[in-house]
Amino acid sequence: MNKIKIIIKREYLTRVSKKSFLVMTILGPILMSLLIFTPFFLSNIEEDRLNIMVVDQTLSISENDSVYLFRNQFKNSDKIKFEYFDDIETAQSILKEGSVDGVLEIVKTNDTPPIKGFMYYGEEDIPGSAQEEIKNQLTNILKNSILRLDYGMNEKEIAWVNNPTIDFYTKNIFSGEESFNEIKTLLGMIAGFLIYFFVFLFGAQIMKSVSDEKMNRVVEVLVSSVKPIELLFGKIIAIALVSLTQIALWIVIIFGIITFAQTAAPEIFTIQQEQTINIDQRIITVDQINATETPEASELVRGLFAINIPLMVGMFVFYFIMGFLLYASLFGAIGSLIDIDTDGSQFTLPITIPLILAIICLPILSDNPTSSIAFWLSIIPFTAPVAMMVRIPFGVATWEIILSCGLMILFIAGSIYIAAKIYRTGILMYGKKITYSELWKWLRYKN
């Protein structure tokens, strides 16, 4: 027992004192923040404004007026400024001179829809987002004109018809709580992905560390002092501690960033006092709906409060450790098969497939956490750590959790047994190509 401590100490200290550990610790949260905030920053960057010249050819003569459907109807935006011109040929020569970025010609046709737009542009292509905006505006203007001219609607009525989104609420019929499905999905996916990420990252580290010791030929010296299993588990425990240290440091840093953001922009984090809609009330007025609308971020904070955080954290730690032990011991065993001239790739594939499968199934899992595929993936130990974490925010029956945990522990015992057998033979097997049938023989060796 004392020797395993010495091994853990060395393995732990060499890893946390590496530069790469420090870099990962600092860079991890920064990268994560960047991932979250970059879209926000990008959307605030001012782009060059495009000058578009509109030539409207849709003149129609009504009873008392001549009407152009599109003239002066486009809304100027940050991206595009619209000008209007009568003559298409002159407009095109202005475009060739380069004083405008594009010419939009709108003509009537006998097709459906009866209006078509043609875009001419100069030397540089018009950005896709600008094209999309122009297309949307064209459609809207046509639609609004139809509503105004053919149906005689006024401005207010048109605005009402165009009101594009209807808010959607979900409520549990028993608890009466709002269910915040989006946030649960997000949280479950992050937890599942973190487990996947760390199992892979540190599993690979264990594999490399074991094969390094074999290739250095230091391993036989070591096992003349300690039992092979002490060596393997000293390493696995140390690397688990390293990963927990890393996560703890990340949490501290992220907490620091959040605290900083809280002082810089407190409005994101305050839960606003608001009216809630009573579901029993059948008729809900527009004012009531408006009153319940809250900023996105505040909804996120409320959603977080709605989830059973202690259960989530507890389960995360459990599945993290269990998943880690399951895969770490197997990765360790594979590491012992790798030598200077043999790689272990044919053995890594079978154990990485279940993990990758779990990650591929993430969207299916979060889309329907109670489906039978979700059930089986969260019961089978090789995918359970990832799959169960996705399901837990949505609530999982206790017996399912117990079944999954129990199987997990059983499989870990099995994988440790197999890994120890392979490891103790593998580390001392030099210069021999190892096949599956060879491994099968090793498993049947007496100790």
Partner 1 sequence: MNILETKEVSKSYSSHKVLDKVSISIKEGEIFGLLGPNGAGKTTLIRMINQITAPDEGEILFFGNKLKREDIKNIGYLPEERGLYKKMKVGEQAIYLAELKGLSKKEAKKRLEYWFERFEIGDWWNKRIEELSKGMAQKIQFITTILHEPKLLIFDEPFSGFDPLNANLLKNEILNLREKGATIIFSTHNMESVEEICDSIALINKSKKILEGNVYEIKEKFKQNLFEITIPYQENINPLIIEGCQITNSIINKGKLVLTLSIPQGRNAELLSNILKQTNILSYREILPSMNNIFIETIKNNE
Paired tokens of 61: 């003569």
Measuring CA to CA, which residue among 25, 19, 35 is closest to residue 253? 25
Quote the least distance from Cβ 428 to partner 1, whole Å: 7
53 has which bridge partners?
Answer: 83, 103
Q: In this structure, are residues 157 and 103 in contact, taking their beta carbons and an 8 Å threshold?
A: no
Q: Identify the DSSP state of 429.
A: -
Comparison of 174 and 436: residue with beta carbon closer to partner 1: 436
Q: In this structure, are residues 16 and 47 in contact, taking their beta carbons and an 8 Å threshold?
A: no
Quote the least distance from Cβ 441 to partner 1, whole Å: 5
List 3, 75, 108, 143, residue binding partner 1 (CB under 8 A): 3
Q: Please, which of residues 4-33 interact with partner 1 by CB under 8 A?
A: 6-7, 10, 14
Quote the least distance from Cβ 232 to partner 1, whole Å: 14
| Residues that contact partner 1, how many (by CB under 8 A) | 24
Comparison of 20 and 345: residue with beta carbon closer to partner 1: 20
Q: Please, which of residues 171-230 interact with partner 1 by CB under 8 A?
A: 213, 216-218, 220-226, 228
Quote the least distance from Cβ 28 to partner 1, whole Å: 24
> Does 443 help bind partner 1 (rule: CB under 8 A)?
no
Q: In this structure, are residues 55 and 85 in contact, taking their beta carbons and an 8 Å threshold?
A: yes
Comparison of 408 and 427: residue with beta carbon closer to partner 1: 427
Torsion angles phi and psi, residue 66, rounded to 5: -95, 130
Q: In this structure, are residues 126 and 50 in contact, taking their beta carbons and an 8 Å threshold?
A: yes
Q: Identify the DSSP state of 125.
A: P
Comparison of 15 and 391: residue with beta carbon closer to partner 1: 15
Angle formed at CA 32 by CA 31 and CA 37, multiple of 5 degrees: 95
Q: How far apart are CA 192 and CA 394, in angstroms?
A: 13
Quote the least distance from Cβ 5 to partner 1, whole Å: 10
Comparison of 147 and 226: residue with beta carbon closer to partner 1: 226
The dihedral region occupied by 98, where left means phi > 0, alpha psi between -120 and 50, and beta the remainder, is left
Comparison of 209 and 329: residue with beta carbon closer to partner 1: 209
User: What character string, x for contact with partner 1 (CB under 8 A) and - otherwise, covers 399-438?
Assistant: -----------------------------x-x--------
Q: How far apart are CA 64 and CA 153, in angstroms?
A: 19
> Which positions touch partner 1 (CB under 8 A)?
3, 6-7, 10, 14, 213, 216-218, 220-226, 228, 428, 430, 441, 444-447
